[in-house]
Amino acid sequence: MNPVLYGSLVVLTTLLMGSSFAIGKIGLDYVSPLLLVGCRFTLAGLLMALWVRNMPFPKTLQGWTRVLLIGFLQTAGVMGCIFLSLRTITAAESSILTFLNPLLVVILSTWLLGTKYRPSQWLGVLIGFIGVAITLGFHLQWSTGTLWGLGAAIFWSLGTLSIKKWGADLHVWVLTAFQMLFGGLLLLLMAVTLETPKLIVTPTSVFIILWLAIMASIVQFAGWFYLLAKGDPGKTSAFLFLAPFFGVLSGWLLLGEKVEWYVYLGGALIFSGIFLVNWTVAKPKPASA
């Protein structure tokens, strides 16, 4: 792939991932958390479902059940926890906690799937968790939002493992569309049963919902999957650490959130840990005869 195009897509997709935390926090002034994220992914799922209508759908009940479960973990669980966390912690803190998921994937895949990892990857896990301790420990308190942020990372890691286990049997775009749709519908159900729904319709709130649904969901997923398909997945995934950086930056630019020095230190360690976990070492080419 052209290096300029590759770099541009990496920046675009991780920027959309990270900035969605700050934009979502602004949206909470107009829409209650679960209703906001439910509208976002139901709309995104419907639009993508129309696009993939001629692609191969799952042919068995088991296939649809797996899509539904992935939607529960990857969309309802992750996004529900993120937007609930934003009620009590900053967008920067929520993004850092959520993007712990690559570190948790190493632990859970070793435990649940028996996957083997290199010493450098385990070092990345250790460095990442030290970073979390520094980022949160200096606050001297654990708010409800902190627990929701950690919950988002756990749900994301479980969703990643589910996709790794079942994704090969499902068309990637069909899976993306319907897991967002199922997850979005579940979030709407949760919104009317678990919270008091709030919806203030203004041009700003409509713009935020459309931005989150189209740019931060459809465009983000499409760009990221394209990068994974065209480049080396291991090396591409290493750039995921840019997302929490953009989360911190957008929280500062859009919300005026103050970022303390220890958040920078803890965040740097987390990014380093994620980098070590994801980066793959190129194997030496065999010498020609």
Mean pLDDT for all residues in the chain: 82
Q: Is the pLDDT of residue 164 over 80?
A: no
Domain membership flag for residue 287? no
Domain membership flag for residue 243? yes
Q: Is the pLDDT of residue 35 over 80?
A: yes
Burial 128-142 (b: 16+ CB within 10 A, else e): bbbbbebbbeeeeee
Task: Write out the DSSP string of the chain.
Answer: --HHHHHHHHHHHHHHHHHHHHHHHHHTTTB-HHHHHHHHHHHHHHHHHHHTTTSPPP-SHHHHHHHHHHIIIIIIIHHHHHHHHTTTS-HHHHHHHHTTHHHHHHHHHHHHH-----HHHHHHHHHHHHHHHHHHHTTT---HHHHHHHHHHHHHHHHHHHHHHHGGGS-HHHHHHHHHHHHHHHHHHHHHHHS---B---HHHHHHHHIIIIIIIIIHHHHHHHHHHHS-HHHHHHGGGHHHHHHHHHHHHHH-----HHHHHHHHHHHHHHHHHH--PPPPPPPP-
Which of 33-47, 56-70, 184-198, 225-239 has the least mean pLDDT?
225-239
pLDDT of residue 202: 95
Q: Is the pLDDT of residue 284 over 60?
A: no
Averaged pLDDT for residues 70-79: 89
Averaged pLDDT for residues 79-104: 82
Domain membership flag for residue 284? no
Domain membership flag for residue 288? no
Domain membership flag for residue 283? no
Domain membership flag for residue 255? yes
Averaged pLDDT for residues 63-83: 90
Q: Which tens digits make up the pLDDT trace of 170-215?
A: 888 888 899 999 999 999 999 998 888 899 999 999 999 999 999 9
pLDDT of residue 137: 59
Averaged pLDDT for residues 143-153: 86
Q: Is the pLDDT of residue 234 over 60?
A: no
Q: Is the pLDDT of residue 89 over 90?
A: no
Domain membership flag for residue 114? yes
Compute the distance between CA of residue 151 and CA of residue 9 in angstroms, rounded to an integer.
28
Greater confidence (32 vs 2) lies with: 32
Number of compact structural domains in the chain: 1
Q: Is the pLDDT of residue 113 over 80?
A: no
* Number of CB atoms found within 10 A of residue 64's CB: 15
Greater confidence (289 vs 14) lies with: 14
Task: Write out the DSSP string of 56-115.
Answer: PPP-SHHHHHHHHHHIIIIIIIHHHHHHHHTTTS-HHHHHHHHTTHHHHHHHHHHHHH--
Range of the domain at 59: 3-278
What is the pLDDT confidence band of residue 239, given thresholds at 50, 70 and 90? confident
Domain membership flag for residue 101? yes
Which of 108-112, 135-139, 183-187 has the least mean pLDDT?
135-139
Averaged pLDDT for residues 222-234: 69
What is the pLDDT confidence band of residue 140, given thresholds at 50, 70 and 90? very low
Q: Show the tokens assigned to 79.
A: 């996004």
pLDDT of residue 31: 93
